[in-house]
Amino acid sequence: MDPAYPFPSNVDDPFDIGAGSLIETWVDAGGEDMASVGQQSLWNEGVITPTMAPSSPPLDAYQASTPTVSAVSIPEAQSYPHAMPTPGTQQSAEIRRAPVHISPVFNPNSSQSKGRPPADMILISNDNFVFYVDENTLCSNSTNQFNGLLPLQTLEKQRRVVFLREIVWPELQVFLQVIYNTASTDVPDLGTLVRGVAWLPKYGFDPKSFILPGTRAFDYLLSHAPLCPLDVYTCAGMHDIYPLAVQASSHLLRVSPSEVTEEMAISMGSRYLLKFFSLHLRRTEALKQLLMKGPELHNITKTCGFEGQNLSKARWNQGVAKLALILKADTTTTFIRDTILEATEDISCTECLKARDARLNTTLQEWSMTSRTI
């Protein structure tokens, strides 16, 4: 094994063979600090020392309101001491039986294959998933030393472990993917993305500094905007990720402001709530102004004088009145055209029809160019 890379070169040999003893040894130690257990090697005898995350104020993740996502709030961090509380008999048995898995994205080989720094420590999720990471990336990019957990005070590889008992593995994987800008096999569901991102501030990472246009996390979140625009926009507003909010807002035109719940309004904040409402108001007002201007008058002909032209204008206004009843920020050019043509279909003057078509085409062109984002 390369001494510069202390973790096994193959995830199947020998780490996962003794991975179960990771939890078993902790249970045998009564859930206390394992300094007295002995200095067995994880890869020789399967011992790892879980490290308890210090307490902090509870951080509630935004709960995605999509029908396919179960809204889950981030649980409150439990208080000190650093060691986990001693588990009861039944809990100990359950912990012993719990399998230990290795993250498919942050495994011993992934850092070398994906150009990341060599792993020199391990994170363990609430549901016993192991993530191989490097301390320097986490510590140097965090404003609070990874919530006070880093740097680790030992160089012994079997003790360079942090047990994040609050975070389940899908959220921890998203959390690390944001930091490392690493792709996964499948796009995570929106709820997992939102909750994973919501953990970042607690551990000293500003989401808007990592979720930038072109990054994997940005693209993953944006990919959900067509189906869940309000949820993506709320997440962007919550963390002040303005570029994401702008791109997601183009999908908000079909979302009525009345669909914003109180929870969403609080999560996205007053700034982004105002931008959302202003987008709808700005577009509807722009369309009203475009429609209020009717067709130009033409020179009097033998078959059409002022009376005939006033009748044509009245027909135009009837179409506009019909549109005004259902005017929305996402009103389509096709619907506008069909409504106006239907209202003016009995116009027989060729010159009036030319004037109508000219004004209608101008209206549709300017409407299609009206800004669709915040």
CA distance 14 to 55: 34
Choosing from 174, 189, 204, the residue where a domain stops is: 189
Q: Is the pLDDT of residue 193 over 50?
A: yes
* pLDDT tens profile 32-43: 333 333 333 333
**Pair of tokens at residue 285:** 């007002």
Q: Is 27 in the same domain as 162?
A: yes
Q: In the predicted model, what is the mean pLDDT of residues 2-27? A: 42
- Domain extent, residue 47, equals 15-189
**Confidence category of residue 66, pLDDT binned at 50, 70, 90:** very low
Choosing from 189, 206, 229, the residue where a domain stops is: 189
Q: Is 49 in the same domain as 162?
A: yes
Within a domain: 291: yes
* Amino acid 18: pLDDT: 43
**Confidence category of residue 115, pLDDT binned at 50, 70, 90:** confident
Q: In the predicted model, what is the mean pLDDT of residues 245-268? A: 97
Sign of CA dihedral 304, 309, 342, 291: positive
Q: In the predicted model, what is the mean pLDDT of residues 16-34? A: 43
Within a domain: 276: no
* Amino acid 36: pLDDT: 31
Nearest to 161 by CA among 207, 89, 100: 100
Domain total for the chain? Answer: 2
* Amino acid 359: pLDDT: 96
Within a domain: 202: no
Residue 142 gets the label, from left (phi > 0), alpha (psi -120 to 50) or beta, of beta
* pLDDT tens profile 140-154: 999 999 999 999 998
List C-alpha distances in Å: 56 to 5, 52, 144, 241, 302: 33, 12, 12, 24, 85
* pLDDT tens profile 201-252: 999 999 999 999 999 999 999 999 999 999 999 999 999 999 999 999 999 9
